[in-house]
């Protein structure tokens, strides 16, 4: 039963935000989120109720796997009816991957799922953890006439809420660690929270929430570079069980017109490997056929990644493979926006 004030569930998976320095050694270790009010007493001023649950063994986000994504999904599924929103505390290094994965696995969301973290631990004098956490909770608790305002997976960092599957980590040194190059922010945090409603995902239907829990990791990514030894590509497509190859191409989806390169790609296609074209550029979109250097890829029926991020492309491929679609259905679904991941 949801109380008058929104009930928000914090899910701690690990990461810098939940670390404190061990007395004497200075080593960073996770602290118990049962005692979070002692670390951030400001949470008591929020007009919402906050509960927390933690992974049994919090992880460094560099170790995140599909199994961890499914664990998060399962926690949300279990508690979905009893909470107004969810805030996931996560290491920043792979946060964009997790945000992307969750956006595909959590279907028909009518509540916010907000990921956040920090560059410095909560106990640090100059920490960004408190602001990120407090504001993420406030955003997760935003309602209008008892209905959540945000109904999607978002990523909050340094005064901005982004659509999770549009984000990329851009800095390991500054507090504004994330950016969304191809889609504007959803909320800006200043003196007030400015909700940019026109940018929010519209989920007005009455389809019930459900969770998917199957992904297939038979996916590889190859970033093209000048002077690349083509034996790398040739060997890559011989990997047993490989189903999808994501090519990080130049500019608007361009690749070498080298005959040997194209022949290898054609060989991969004949093996049943689906090839996806995603640009290396932080911003912009794949436009196959605009230049001659991408027209050959179009002839080879390479899938157009449009303006998807590499993080989202990887997770979307794993998700669609888990659905066991035909090649044609996979192509159609990949080139279609499922949850706002492409324009």
Predicted TM-score (pTM) of the model is 0.94
Tokens of 90: 């996560």
CA–CA distance from 280 to each of 102, 189, 271 (Å)?
23, 30, 25
Catalytic residues: 16
Q: How many residues does the chain have?
A: 343
The answer for residues whose C-beta is within 8 angstroms of residue 335's C-beta and 6 or more apart is 303, 304, 306, 342
Mean pLDDT of 35-41: 71
Domains, the chain? 7-211 (3.40.50.1170), 219-334 (3.40.50.40)
**Are the C-beta atoms of residues 236 and 222 closer than 8 Å to each other?**
yes
Phi and psi, residue 4, nearest 5°:
-60, -45
Residue 290, both tokens = 């605009």
Alpha-carbon distance of 198 to 186, in angstroms, equals 8
What angle separates helix 95-105 from helix 66-79, to the nearest 10 degrees? Answer: 50
Kindly give the interhelix angle for 310-322 and 327-334, rounded to the nearest 10 degrees: 140
| pLDDT score at 17 | 82
Structure tokens at 107: 């279907």
Instruction: Please state, in angstroms and rounded to a whole number, the distance separating the CA atoms of residues 118 and 113.
Output: 17
Going edge to edge, which strands form the sheet with 303-304? 219-223, 244-249, 274-279, 303-304
What's the rounded Cα separation, in Å, for the pair 189 and 168? 19
Contact between residue 275 and residue 245 where contact means Cβ atoms under 8 Å apart: yes
Please say if the pLDDT value at position 229 is more than 60: yes
Which tens digit of pLDDT belongs to each residue from 192-215?
999 999 999 998 667 899 999 999
Task: Give the best-scoring range by mean pLDDT among 47-51, 288-292, 305-309.
Answer: 305-309
For range 14-31, the mean pLDDT: 76
Q: How far is CA 231 from CA 33, 186, 227, 261, in A?
A: 49, 44, 12, 10
Question: How high is the pLDDT of residue 1?
Answer: 43
60-87: pLDDT as tens digits: 899 999 999 999 999 999 999 999 999 9
Q: What does the pLDDT read at residue 31?
A: 67
* pLDDT tens digits, one per residue of 126-148: 888 889 999 999 999 999 999 99
Residue 188: is it exposed, middle or buried by C-beta count within 10 angstroms (0-12/13-18/19+)?
A: middle
Q: Residue 86: in which H helix or E strand, if any?
A: strand 85-89
């Amino acid at each position: 039963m949801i109380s008058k004030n929104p009930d928000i569930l914090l899910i701690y998976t690990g990461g810098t935000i939940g670390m404190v320095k061990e007395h004497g050694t200075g080593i960073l270790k996770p602290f118990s989120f049962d005692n979070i009010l002692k670390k951030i007493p400001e949470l008591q001023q929020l007009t919402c109720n906050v509960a927390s649950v933690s992974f049994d063994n919090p992880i460094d986000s560099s170790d995140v796997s599909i199994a961890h994504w499914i664990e998060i999904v399962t926690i949300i599924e279990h508690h979905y009816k009893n909470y107004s929103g969810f805030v996931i505390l996560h290491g920043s290094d792979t946060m964009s991957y997790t945000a992307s994965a969750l956006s595909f696995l959590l279907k028909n969301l009518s509540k916010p799922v907000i990921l956040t973290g920090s560059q410095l631990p909560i106990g640090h004098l100059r920490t960004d953890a408190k602001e990120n956490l407090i504001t993420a909770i406030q955003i997760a608790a935003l309602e209008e006439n008892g209905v959540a305002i945000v109904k999607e997976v978002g990523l909050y960092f340094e005064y901005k809420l982004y659509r999770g599957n549009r984000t990329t980590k851009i800095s390991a040194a500054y507090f504004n660690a994330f950016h969304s190059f191809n889609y504007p922010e959803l909320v800006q945090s200043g003196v007030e929270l400015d909700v940019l409603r026109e940018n929010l995902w519209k989920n007005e239907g009455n389809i019930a929430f459900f969770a998917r829990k199957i992904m297939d990791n038979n996916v590889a990514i190859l970033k093209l570079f000048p002077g690349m030894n083509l034996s790398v590509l040739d060997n890559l497509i011989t990997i047993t069980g490989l189903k999808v190859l994501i090519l990080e191409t130049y500019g608007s989806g361009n690749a070498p017109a080298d005959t040997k390169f194209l022949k290898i790609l054609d060989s991969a296609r004949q093996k049943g490997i689906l090839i996806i074209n995603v640009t290396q550029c932080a911003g912009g979109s794949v436009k196959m056929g605009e230049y001659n250097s991408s027209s050959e890829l179009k002839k080879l029926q390479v899938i157009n990644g449009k303006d998807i991020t590499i993080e989202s492309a990887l997770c979307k491929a794993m998700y669609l493979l888990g659905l066991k679609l035909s090649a044609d259905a996979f192509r159609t679904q990949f080139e279609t926006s499922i949850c706002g991941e492409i324009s």
